[in-house]
Amino acid sequence: MNKEEMKKNIEKLGIKVTKEMLLNLEEYYKILVEWNKKFNLTRIIEEKEVNLKHFYDSLTVQKAINLYNYRNLIDVGTGAGFPGIVLAIFFKNLQIDLIESNTKKCLFLKEVIKKLSLNNVKVINDRAEKYAKTNREKYDIATCRAVSHLSIISEISIPMIKVEGYFVPLKSEIKEELTQSEEKILKMNAKLEKVLEYKLPIEESKRTIPIIKKISKTNTKYPREYNKITKDLKNQQK
């Protein structure tokens, strides 16, 4: 996806695109390439692929929920900043927290934020399940991109969402994951409102966004320790 194609496709998502935003993406890409020589941030590094599979793909959260209507968001396990940094560039109305346990990746994220002068982003260097214990019902929206099984990431993310807020993870093909996660989502006092399926432009690869709404406060015993969360899933899959 070249720059002009990216701009047109982002606008089709109902997102306002300015010259400054596109310049920020260019600078983000340059920093990503430079840091990727030192740390393994992403296997996708060719510019057209980054435009499509990192930048555009991150913004498809807007397909599921109108981000202009909300105030804060947490990106769980943000890695190199996808989707959180990209969302911060385009949605100045959102205060975005990026949680990442890898310290080197956090250093990279802070460098991007500094170079792009993004004052609506904060980096949290912590394990998400630990952070969730003391930051309950705090965010309008939680999202993540290609992070863990839906059952696992639901238990970690949903406790942080406000009642009436949304969890909108960016996934690929997840029919089996959805079936295995139904009970866990209900335990978090949330419900699956809709499953949005679409294809990325140009390469036509399948993407899925389950739209999960929080109905009432999550029991304070959640999230549990990570090994307990994963053990449950392993037992279920036997």
Amino acid 66: pLDDT? 98
Written as one string, the DSSP assignment of 216-234 is SPPPTT-S--HHHHHHHHH
Length in residues, the chain: 238
Query: What domains lie within the chain, and their CATH numbers?
Result: 3-237 (3.40.50.150)
Give the residue-averaged pLDDT of 92-117. 97
The Cα–Cα gap between 75 and 101 comes to 12
Give the model confidence (pLDDT) of 154-183 as tens digits: 999 999 999 999 999 999 989 899 999 999
Give the model confidence (pLDDT) of 7-60 as tens digits: 999 999 999 999 999 999 999 999 999 999 998 899 999 999 999 999 999 999
Place of tokens 């089996």: 176
The Cα–Cα gap between 214 and 42 comes to 32
pTM exceeding the 0.75 threshold for the entire prediction = yes
Give the rounded distance of the alpha carbon of 158 from its chain centre.
Answer: 13
Numbers of helices and strands, H then E, in the chain? 11, 7
Q: What is the mean pLDDT of the chain?
A: 96
Q: What is the sign of the dihedral through the CA atoms of 141, 130, 191 and 162?
A: negative
Beta-bridged to residue 125, according to DSSP, are 100
Amino acid 237: pLDDT? 80
